[in-house]
Amino acid sequence: MSRRSHVTGFQPLPTGAAEHESALERDFVTLTSWRDAGAAITAQPVTLRFEHEGAPRRYTPDFLVRRGEGDAELVEIKYRSDLRAQRHRLRPAFVAARSWARENGAVFRIVTERAVRVPELELAKRLLPLRTAPIDTALADEAVLAAMARPSFGALVDMLPVSREAALGVVWRLIARGRIGVDASLAITPATTVWAS
């Protein structure tokens, strides 16, 4: 039984809007754009036509991701239960996708909820909108300088010479922009270590 939810929509990205057809696809787009702000994500980039057991078939992968550093991935998003239930039907399509990817300087990758529904996803959902939010540049520079000493998140907020609310806003925006680093696999608490990226 498929747990695929039909949550269709578009997600605005710095590189253009990415369409999604399920909650898992939406979350993949969010996580990918969080991890690589320069990634160009194209939904249903190509329809592959191939023959299997003498019959014509076609397959449209979910995304083509061109990373900021130049790597490209042809990506299929599937729940693990769907992969298990449909593996014999999907295998020929995946062989065609691997072949297309090789011929086009990419790799083919199947992504399941195990790779998408990770703790970092919640951080991405919360902070992606802050990447483009206005920031006090002088205060931001001061915060990055203070983060070089690897303080805790709470200590860094307390070091800034503004109200706690204003300091929190600056620190969260700097994390969103990648100027201050955190261990994104863990929840951020006042005790979380931060550093200048």
Asked whether residue 135 is domain-assigned, the answer is yes
Last residue of a domain, one of 117, 139, 168: 117
- pLDDT at position 162 is 97
How high does pLDDT run on average in the chain?
91
DSSP code of 102?
A: H
Asked if 156 and 109 sit in the same domain, the reply is no
- In the chain, the percentage of residues whose pLDDT exceeds 70 is 89
Does the reported pTM lie above 0.75? yes
Last residue of a domain, one of 64, 84, 117: 117
Angle at 171 between CA 166 and CA 173, to 5 degrees: 95
Q: What is the mean pLDDT of residues 82-100?
A: 96
- pLDDT at position 165 is 96
Higher-confidence residue of 16 and 163: namely 163
Q: Quote the number of domains for the chain.
A: 2
Q: What is the mean pLDDT of residues 183-189?
A: 90
Residue type, 196: A
Give the pair of three-digit tokens for residue 71: 């790597």
Asked whether residue 68 is domain-assigned, the answer is yes
**Could you tell me the residue range of the domain that residue 44 belongs to?**
9-117
Q: Which residues are within 8 A (CB) of 117 and not within 5 positions of it... i.e. 6 or more apart?
A: 24, 27
Asked if 87 and 21 sit in the same domain, the reply is yes
- pLDDT at position 69 is 80
Asked if 95 and 37 sit in the same domain, the reply is yes
- pLDDT at position 8 is 58
Give the pair of three-digit tokens for residue 120: 């970092």
> What pLDDT digit, counting tens, does each position of 4-49 carry?
455 555 555 555 556 657 999 999 999 999 999 889 999 999 999 9
